[in-house]
Amino acid sequence: MDVRKSRVQQMFGVLAVLGLVFAVGCGSTKMTAKSSGEKIFQADRAVLDAKESNASVNAPKDMMVAEEKLVKAKGAFGKEEYDTAANLAELAVVDAAYAGEKATTQKNMDILDAMKKENDVLRQEIAKMPK
């Protein structure tokens, strides 16, 4: 039951991030260096947070996508392409959040598998006990 609850919470987290990105994207105007830089900072933070949740281990491909978009965002910022930089940074935030949630889910699934194995061992031991 707890695994199902945590999955629902994770999905709400991802949907909230997507909604935020959509809301920001719909209301955006031409980006300035400052606002684009802030988005890159947010993407940096999201990538670091995902790494802290072991996304590099449990969701390496998804983590790599987020990191690549962040690198491209920084490159666009360096070329003073602030709209492109901001858009890539927003995508990096979403990808990093996804990788982090996927890593957490994988970690929970691994815990669940270990618990199932322990339960199977206990059942076998109980079945061997004299009645």
Give 57-95 pLDDT, tens digit per residue.
888 999 999 999 999 999 999 999 999 999 999 999 999
pLDDT (0 to 100) of residue 17: 62
Distance (Å, whole) CA 48 – CA 32 = 24
Confidence category of residue 7, pLDDT binned at 50, 70, 90 = low
pLDDT (0 to 100) of residue 30: 74
pLDDT (0 to 100) of residue 19: 64
C-beta separation of 102 from 58 below 8 A: yes
